[in-house]
């Protein structure tokens, strides 16, 4: 079986230079090139792969026992007849654990980074088929959320979207952790004290992860430069009572409630693929069911699959989505597939 290769390039981001967390503005961009890339002058469709919360593009290349990483998986899929394609794995990690791939005054302009910097750099550096017809985006969990939201907001950039177990229906996937976050803050003696203690810990626990996840989501959905850490919260930090005005800001970023605003964008896609395990620990299968019901009502074509698993270790599902996405992007390839 012929093997492709992965190139690592450094992107110097102008839009991330002033990010409020002081996170690196030089980022590693990993690019998988198919086995025949060096011998061909043809252009290739491009799929942008977004990592989940606490992950980076390099996460796709991590060793997994009894599972191929994304480059090995692509080599096998291509050997089985899937059209060759370029995969792009950006790094949008933040000190809070992730950016949700959207712009925020609390974390940085990560949506702008991807759309205005990463995409043009890839098109100018590699043999891509330019244009939205040959450009797709996909990911899992927070990466699935990012893929779906960027696909909605930028139909001029992407024409195929795959969302694996993406964050949606925030009432079920985030709200259950609000009391855990408030309790953690209270035990520490305040938000900023908790944040310092979190950073000082040599080993983070499961409860730490639950808390920082809510912190990161608030940073993405309800930033406020006038609040501690530049973040407002949709609940009172003492009583945990929901603050309706801030919660509404979160819901405006929930794909469940975004679909009405972006129905035309979604209808323009060549492919919208969604899946979720029906034992998902974060209740995301319920969100996916609600989303697909709304898509049905709006007349948006989609494909949806539920499978017997939970949220963890489901990279094998890329065997389902990658061929679908790449085939959709390769359909109008003038050089053939």
**272: region left, alpha or beta (phi > 0 left; psi from -120 to 50 alpha):** beta
Domain contains 205: yes
The pLDDT assigned to 313 comes to 95
pLDDT at residue 299 is higher than 90: yes
Could you tell me the pLDDT band of residue 331, with boundaries at 50, 70 and 90? confident
The answer to whether residues 212 and 269 belong to one domain is no
> Domain boundary at 221, 251, 281, which?
251
pLDDT at residue 333 is higher than 70: no
Is residue 180 within 8 A of residue 302, CB to CB? The reply is: no
CATH number for 93:
3.40.50.1820
Domain contains 149: yes
The answer to whether residues 191 and 287 belong to one domain is no
Cα end-to-end span (Å), the chain = 18
The answer to whether residues 58 and 111 belong to one domain is yes
Q: What is the mean pLDDT of the chain?
A: 96
Domain contains 335: no
Query: Beta 5-12 vs 26-33: how paired, if at all?
Result: antiparallel
The answer to whether residues 299 and 237 belong to one domain is no
Q: Report how many domains make up the chain.
A: 2
Of the candidates 27, 40, 38, 46, the residue with the CA atom closest to the CA atom of residue 87:
46
Give, in degrees to the nearest 5, the angle at Cα 138 between 308 and 170. Answer: 65
Rounded mean pLDDT, 236-245: 98
The pLDDT assigned to 322 comes to 98
Rounded mean pLDDT, 312-324: 97
**CA 209: distance to chain centroid?**
18
The answer to whether residues 76 and 141 belong to one domain is yes
pLDDT at residue 337 is higher than 90: no
Domain contains 79: yes
Rounded mean pLDDT, 190-211: 95
- Percent of the chain at pLDDT > 70 equals 98
Q: List, for residues 246-279, the tens digit of each pLDDT value.
A: 999 999 999 999 999 999 999 999 999 999 999 9
In this structure, the chain runs to a length of: 337
The answer to whether residues 34 and 144 belong to one domain is yes
The answer to whether residues 18 and 109 belong to one domain is yes
Domain contains 336: no
Q: What is the pTM of this model?
A: 0.96
The answer to whether residues 134 and 261 belong to one domain is yes
Rounded mean pLDDT, 13-21: 97
pLDDT at residue 336 is higher than 60: no
Is residue 51 within 8 A of residue 61, CB to CB? The reply is: no
> Domain boundary at 190, 224, 251, which?
251
pLDDT at residue 335 is higher than 90: no
Query: Beta 46-50 vs 5-12: how paired, if at all?
Result: unpaired
Q: List, for residues 111-161, the tens digit of each pLDDT value.
A: 999 999 999 999 999 999 989 999 999 999 999 999 999 999 999 999 999
Domain contains 337: no
Could you tell me the pLDDT band of residue 332, with boundaries at 50, 70 and 90? low
pLDDT at residue 99 is higher than 70: yes
Give, in degrees to the nearest 5, the angle at Cα 174 between 169 and 176. Answer: 115
The answer to whether residues 325 and 200 belong to one domain is no
The answer to whether residues 192 and 149 belong to one domain is no
> Domain boundary at 231, 251, 271, which?
251
Range of the domain at 224: 172-251
Rounded mean pLDDT, 297-306: 98
The pLDDT assigned to 14 comes to 98
- Percent of the chain at pLDDT > 90 equals 96
What count of other Cβ atoms lies within 10 Å of the Cβ of residue 212? 23
The answer to whether residues 89 and 233 belong to one domain is no
The answer to whether residues 161 and 90 belong to one domain is yes
Q: List, for residues 53-85, the tens digit of each pLDDT value.
A: 999 999 999 998 999 999 999 999 999 999 999
Domain contains 24: yes
Contacts of 93 (CB under 8 A, 6+ apart): 23, 54, 55, 56, 99
């Amino acid at each position: 079986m012929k093997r492709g290769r992965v190139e690592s390039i450094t992107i110097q981001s102008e839009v991330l230079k002033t990010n409020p967390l002081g996170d690196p503005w030089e980022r590693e961009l990993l690019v998988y090139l198919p086995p025949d890339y060096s011998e061909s002058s043809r252009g290739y469709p491009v799929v942008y792969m977004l990592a989940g919360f606490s992950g980076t593009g390099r996460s796709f290349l991590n060793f997994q026992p009894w599972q191929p990483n994304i480059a090995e998986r692509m080599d096998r899929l291509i050997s089985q007849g899937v059209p060759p394609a370029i995969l792009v794995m950006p790094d949008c990690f933040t000190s809070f654990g992730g950016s949700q791939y959207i712009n925020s005054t609390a974390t940085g302009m990560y949506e702008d980074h991807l759309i205005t910097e990463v995409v043009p750099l890839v098109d100018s550096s590699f043999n891509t088929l330019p244009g939205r017809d040959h450009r797709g985006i996909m990911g899992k969990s927070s990466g699935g959320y990012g893929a779906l939201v960027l696909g909605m907001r930028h139909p001029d950039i992407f024409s195929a979207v795959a969302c694996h177990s993406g964050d949606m229906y925030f009432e079920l996937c985030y709200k259950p952790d609000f009391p855990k976050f408030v309790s953690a803050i209270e035990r520490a003696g305040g938000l900023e004290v908790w944040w310092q203690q979190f950073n000082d810990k040599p080993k983070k626990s499961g409860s730490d992860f639950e808390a920082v996840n809510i912190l990161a989501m608030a940073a993405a959905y309800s930033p406020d430069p006038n609040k501690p850490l530049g973040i407002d919260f949709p609940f009172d930090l003492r009583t945990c009572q929901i603050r309706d005005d801030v919660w509404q800001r979160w819901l405006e970023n929930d794909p469940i409630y975004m679909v009405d605003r972006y129905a035309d964008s979604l209808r323009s896609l060549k492919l919208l693929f969604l899946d979720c395990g029906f034992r998902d620990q974060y209740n995301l299968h319920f969100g996916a069911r609600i989303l697909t019901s709304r898509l049905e009502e709006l007349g948006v074509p989609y494909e949806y699959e539920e499978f017997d698993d939970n949220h963890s270790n489901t990279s094998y599902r890329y065997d389902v989505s990658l061929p679908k996405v790449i085939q959709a992007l390769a359909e109008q390839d003038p050089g053939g597939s």
